Amino acid sequence: MPDLVVVDTDVLIDAGRNIGDAVICLEQVERQASLAISVVSEMKLVVGCRNKAEQRALDKFLSRFRVVKSNEQTSDLAIDLLRRYRLSHGLLIADALIAATAILQGIPFVTKNERDYRFITELRLLPYPQPFAT
């Protein structure tokens, strides 16, 4: 059982919108592990805020997550992932950085959009919406 699980931006957005599968997913993960996000997900969510009230609500929501920062190794692996998968699978920059974060930390990853990541063999994907048995 992992100590930490990285949660993708799409799950966070849905949880923020109170969509059942995402809320349940986070609750189930939290019962058995701590929640983490990539700093890239945090940045994507901040960019999505339309005003200060939304930004304050986001800060409160994100307080339950450990933010995993990027470093030189993360950047190097993300570039390698893009070289391997950009043309064949359409891997995007943000997704490469998020995947690299989880891979380098040895942390399982949960996403609603498994098709965006399933080809990255080094990535330990957890099933969505229910990564753990209750």
The verdict on residue 83 lying in a domain is: yes
Q: Which has the closest alpha carbon to 85: 47, 122, 58, 57? A: 122
The verdict on residue 132 lying in a domain is: no
The domain tally of the chain equals 1
The verdict on residue 131 lying in a domain is: no
Q: What is the pLDDT of residues 7-56, one digit of tens each?
A: 999 999 999 999 999 999 999 999 999 999 999 999 999 999 999 999 99
The verdict on residue 60 lying in a domain is: yes
Predicted confidence at residue 2, as pLDDT, reads: 74
Which CATH number belongs to the domain containing residue 51 in this structure? 3.40.50.1010
The verdict on residue 133 lying in a domain is: no
What is the value of pTM for the model shown? 0.90
Domain limits for position 116: 4-126
Kindly tell me if the per-residue pLDDT of 130 is higher than 90. Answer: no
The CB-side HSE value for 110 (13 A sphere, CA atoms) comes to: 28
DSSP 62-125: HTTSEEEPP-HHHHHHHHHHHHHHHHHH---HHHHHHHHHHHHHT--EE-S-GGGTTT-TTS-E
The verdict on residue 134 lying in a domain is: no
